[in-house]
Amino acid sequence: MKKLMNKVAVVTGGNSGIGLAAAKTFVAEGAKVIIVGRRADAVAATVETLGSDATGLTGDVAELTTHNRLVSLINNRFGGIDIYFANAGTNTITPTEAVSVEEFDTQFATNTRGVFFGVQSVLPLIREGGSIILTSSIASEKVLEGHAVYAGTKAAIEAFARSWALELKDRRIRVNVLSPGPVDTPILAKLGVVPEARPEFEAQTAQAIPLGRLGRPEELASAALFLASDDSSFVTGVNIRVDGGMTLA
């Protein structure tokens, strides 16, 4: 039997990378999925790929109006949700002395404020026994060059998760964190890894990962499915690191 039959899930950042892989997995496991993304063309293309069980919403999670529109969509079409996967995020690799106020504010607006107010907005619509999943990063505990601001944004949402796991216990809503290591997604190009530099980048990165390679989006999606489904019915307040052991190295 499919693990998410009759469930409704929201995936922010669901039009690429880990979010897209999770949306595909959730649909394959029987869920109705709402994906939220900033680019209308990418959202529309993803919905077409996922089929009739997918719905798209174009918006930036850093803007509170996006969460308001999401709440209206859920109310009008589904009446409630079972899974909220706060996955959208942004990262700029910059040494501390070069970080601008704009860069700082952009990362915290998307990665931290967007998560907090996204969860706050949908909380009344999450059904009893639901699941909230927050995408963090191993950068919150493993020092990575140029990641100070990004690490701070992710450490904050891990603190949110611990608080929410207790706050929402009476509704049996589980709150957990998914922390990827380096994953082969389009974000690598956004971080400046050009195609001709990929082999060298992958080789260097693999040396820092005990399992010797980058992760695949589908592997993160499998972990998200575990946290979204009843397979993790006795799991709340944890941080699952899907990093090939990189945190240990």
Q: How far apart are CA 33 and CA 6, in angstroms?
A: 11
Backbone angles phi, psi at 120, to 5 degrees: -55, -40
Task: Report how far residue 156's alpha carbon sits from residue 153's, in angstroms, rounded to the nearest whole number.
Answer: 5
84 counts as catalytic: no
Contacts 24+ apart (CB under 8 A), 69-73: 70/10, 70/34, 70/36, 70/118, 70/121, 70/122, 71/121, 71/122, 71/125, 73/34
For 207, the 3-state DSSP assignment is: helix
Hey, what amino acid is at 187? Answer: I
State the Cα–Cα distance between residues 18 and 205, nearest whole angstrom.
19
Mutual angle of helices 40-50 and 17-28, in 10-degree steps: 30
| Coil, helix or strand at residue 17 | helix
Residue from 85, 150, 160, 164 carrying the catalytic annotation: 150
Catalytic residues: 150
